[in-house]
Structures are given as C-alpha cells and as structure tokens.
Amino acid sequence: MSADRTTPALEVAGVAHTFGRRRALDDCSFTVPAGAVTALVGRNGAGKSTLLRAAAGLLRPDSGEVRVFGEPAGDGSLPRIGYVAQQAPLYPMLTVAQTLTVGSRLNPRWDAAYAHRLADDADLPGAARVGTLPAGHRSRLALVMALAKRPDLLLLDEPLAPLDPVARTEVAGTLMADVAERGTTVVLSSHVVADIDGVCDRVVVLTEGRVRLAAEVEAALDGHLVAVGAGIEFSAFDSSEVVEVRAAGADATALIRPTGSAPSGGLAWHRPTLEELLLGYLRTPTRQVPTA
C-alpha cells in the first residue's frame, strides 16, 4: 500500500547486544526488502527474539542500528509495524471484544471490519476473557490484533508454534492473503521447516547471535549441493565451500556451496531440500573446516 518499494522494510546493521554477560547478538547485519516474507531461523537462544524485539523498538541494542522503512525502530515506526511476541502477550482480564476495542483505540489505521472477520474465522468468542482462552486461541487473537493494525511490516515471533495443524494452515493462509493483497512485509521466526517452505521467500539463519546465512530461498537452494560419498573425497573442495560435513563410518554427507566447477569423483549429489540446507547451517555455528 504505502510501502515504498525502494526502501528496505527492515535494515539491521552491525547490531550487537548482551544481557549481562550473555552475548545475544553479535554484529548482525541483513536487509529485508519490502514485500518479502522472511524466515528468521535459529536454535533456541540464537537471538531471534532479541532481534525481533529490537525491530519492534522494544529493546535498544548496545550497538548497531535497526531501521524500519528507513526510520530508526521506535515510536516513529510503531504505526507501521505489527508485532506478536513469543508468548502472544495480551491482557488476560479483558474479553476478546474489549481487546479488539483497545486495538481500535490505540491504532489510527485499525481496520475494525477486518478484525471482526478474522476473529470470526478463528472462532474467537467475543465475550470470553482472554485469560480463559486456550493457548492456540490466544495466539490467534494476538495475530488478529497485529493484522488489523494494518501494518506494513509484520514481526512474528514463532507465530505458528502454539497452533494445531488446522489452525496453522488457516493462519498461514491469512498471512499470505494479506501479503498478496497489501504487499505486507513479513519477518517470522520459526524452527519448523514445514512452516517456512513455500511460505517464506527469504531466509536468515542465526547461530549464536550471528547471521550465518541471509539469502533468497530459491537462490540458496540452487547455490548448494548435498554430496554423499566417502569422507576422503572432500579434500577436493576448497574449505570455504563446505558448509557442513557429517561422517558415518567411511561415508560422509556434506552440504556444499560450490563456487567453481561441479564436484567430481565417486560422489552422488542432489539439490538440497530446504530442511537439509537449514540443518546444515544450524548444526555448524561457525564455519567448519572439514577433517578427513
């Protein structure tokens, strides 16, 4: 809608943050173009939530910059973002209807008709107190609140995790319809590959607070190969090309990012599935130098 197609929806530049002595983010940099659906993938504690909180302006990183549509994340970008934190925080003492009313009062771009349609689709009873709702329903209400704000950038911290399989498809459908209709940019964190495949067109892999991979999904899949063969063969590769090697007896499986000619020797290879690609990066926090 009002999303300017040339300004990135989210720019993370050199962001570092520590909690006490724990380093949560370490020199993170990546860009999310407007209109993209980006998955933020990482193991627990990799810094996904911290990054999303920084993008929502809830946390000021120790160093580095987070920009939302060119503006520093903060009060100024609030009307343009929709944020759902991991536990889908809402006020338990309010009813569903009251929560929607709060949304309409606190957000100038609030779309009441859309909010009610989404709440009906999710079978959310208006008179029920939020605190009495099951986790899945609460989480859907939090999503309704974020969507009805009509944001240009949705920041969702594991939005599908508390949902049952039917609700997952419905929510993914709602999100993707919003993307189709309004060109909403979405950044969502997840560990479930099935939730990402076909949904996200970009992926950012975080390991131990660092960006390990930030790329378009299709391009990343095209740019990697999974090779299977005897472990000794991998000495043929430049070490910078090997993402991960896992040995099982004499055989080894490797995720490779070939830069030059195709691998040769007694190897079988295929284009990685998204799961193979992500696992390969997630299992190796730092660049791995293969050992024979």
Partner 1 sequence: MNWLALRLLRPYLIVAAALSAVSAAFVLIGARVIRQQAEAHGVVVADYAPDRTGLCEQAVSCLPAGTATNLGQALVLVAAFVPLLIGLVLGVPLFARERDEATDAFVLTQSVPRLRWLSTKLGWALTAGALGTATVAVTFRLAAAKYALVVDGLGYGLLREVHKNSIGFMVMQTVFITALAGIVGLAGGRTLRTLVTAVVAWPVALVAAQLGGLLLGMLAYLLTSWSESLSLMLGTQTENETAAFAALALALGTVVAVLIGRRILAGTTARS
Partner 2 sequence: MGLAVDVIFRIDRRTGTAVYAQLMHQVRQAVRMGRLAPGDQLPTAREVAERTGINPNTVLKAYRELEVAGLVEARQGSGTYVRAHLKPLPDNLEALRHELAAWAERARAAGLDVSDMQDLVAEVAAGTVPAGQEAHRVG
Binding site for partner 2 (CB under 8 A): 35-37, 168-169, 171-177, 179-181, 193-194, 197-201, 218, 221, 225, 228-229, 251, 262, 264, 268-273, 276
- Rounded to whole angstroms, how far apart are CA atoms 24 and 222? 31
Secondary structure (3-state) at 246: strand
Task: Please tell me whether residue 103 binds partner 1 under the rule CB under 8 A.
Answer: yes
Task: Please tell me whether residue 91 binds partner 1 under the rule CB under 8 A.
Answer: yes
Task: Please tell me whether residue 87 binds partner 1 under the rule CB under 8 A.
Answer: yes
Half-sphere exposure of 190 (CA within 13 A, CB side): 26
Binding characters for partner 1, 35-74, by CB under 8 A (x = yes) = ------------------xx-xxxxx-----x-----xxx
- Rounded to whole angstroms, how far apart are CA atoms 106 and 177? 25
- Rounded to whole angstroms, how far apart are CA atoms 141 and 98? 12
Dihedral class, residue 228 (left if φ above 0, else alpha if ψ from -120 to 50, else beta):
beta
Half-sphere exposure of 106 (CA within 13 A, CB side): 12
Binding characters for partner 1, 122-161, by CB under 8 A (x = yes) = --------------------x--x---x------------
- Rounded to whole angstroms, how far apart are CA atoms 95 and 125? 9
Shortest CB 172 distance to partner 2, Å: 3
Question: Binding residues for partner 1, per CB under 8 A?
Answer: 53-54, 56-60, 66, 72-76, 78-79, 81-83, 85, 87, 89-91, 93-94, 98, 102-103, 105-109, 142, 145, 149
